[in-house]
Amino acid sequence: MVMGRTVLERFPAGGPRGSWPAEEFAHARRQEGMPAEVVMDLATDTFLVILRGAEGVD
């Protein structure tokens, strides 16, 4: 069974040194009770903050 995902936000991989905006965004969503996680989209060189198995597949 393939589970869907919902992309909450996209962040470019080339952020400033020491900055982790995707991780910070995901952490804030987890504080709100969402099971957010960060994955790398190699095709577009971006970090995605996603919810796995959520309605509305991206």
pLDDT tens-digit series, residues 14-24: 877 767 999 99
Q: Confirm if 3 and 18 have CB atoms less than 8 A apart.
A: no
Query: Which tokens belong to 3?
Result: 């589970």
52 contacts: CB under 8 Å, gap ≥ 6: 3, 4, 5, 35, 37
**Mean pLDDT, rounded, of the chain:** 86
Calpha distance 7→48 (Å, rounded): 6
Q: Confirm if 51 and 6 have CB atoms less than 8 A apart.
A: yes
Task: Write down the pTM of the prediction.
Answer: 0.79
